[in-house]
């Protein structure tokens, strides 16, 4: 155990105020930067379902975390998550000549053909290959978040 004494003269108080101002500028810049790129993230997510007949909706929410803020994107359809993350098994058997509308590592959907022929729990098949959309979206948005954050921070904090 140890202890120490801190005197609070004018210079130290001024330093503390500057630290608080900088922390506030960081928080505000982070929020503004994330808010600026959310429309891009939602646009990219929507591109993955352009050709779907029943398109899910996407909603974004900025959430406070221990280290700052993050953006969570919510999707209204479980199928999008299955395709994004993949599955170990699937129980649906597709029609002869089925062509998927989406591809691994591609943020767009294409014209496909065919549909589910039947679903049987007693005949598991190889799972759905993960498309990895959420990682691709994060990868495309990250540089824009960094640039927006720097611009927002410089607006809020004056450097001598």
For the chain, 160 residues long, give each residue's pLDDT as a single digit of tens.
Answer: 343 444 444 455 566 677 777 777 788 888 888 888 889 999 999 999 999 999 999 998 888 888 777 888 999 999 999 999 999 999 998 889 999 999 999 998 989 888 889 999 998 989 999 999 999 998 898 888 888 888 887 777 665 4
Total residues found in the chain within this entry: 160
Q: According to the model, what pLDDT value does residue 96 have?
A: 92
Buried b (16+ CB within 10 A) or exposed e, 51-63: eeeeebebebeee
Among candidates 37, 41, 48, which has minimal Cα distance to 144? 37
Half-sphere exposure of 42 (CA within 13 A, CB side): 18
pTM over 0.95: no
Tell me the C-alpha distance between 111 and 100, whole Å.
8
């Amino acid at each position: 155990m140890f202890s120490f004494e801190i005197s609070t003269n004018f210079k130290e108080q001024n330093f503390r105020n500057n630290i608080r101002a900088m922390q506030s500028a960081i928080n505000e810049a982070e929020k503004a930067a994330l808010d600026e790129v959310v429309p891009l993230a939602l646009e990219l997510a929507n591109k993955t379902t352009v050709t779907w007949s029943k398109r899910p909706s996407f909603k974004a929410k900025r959430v406070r975390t221990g280290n700052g803020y993050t953006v969570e994107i919510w999707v209204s359809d479980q199928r999008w998550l299955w395709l994004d993350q993949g599955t170990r098994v699937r129980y649906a058997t597709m029609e002869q000549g089925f062509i998927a509308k989406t591809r691994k590592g591609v943020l767009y959907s294409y014209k496909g053909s065919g549909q589910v022929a039947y679903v049987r729990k007693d005949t598991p098949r190889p799972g759905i290959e993960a498309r990895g959309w959420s990682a691709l979206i994060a990868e495309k948005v990250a540089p824009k978040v960094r640039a927006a954050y720097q611009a927002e921070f410089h607006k809020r904090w004056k450097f001598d």
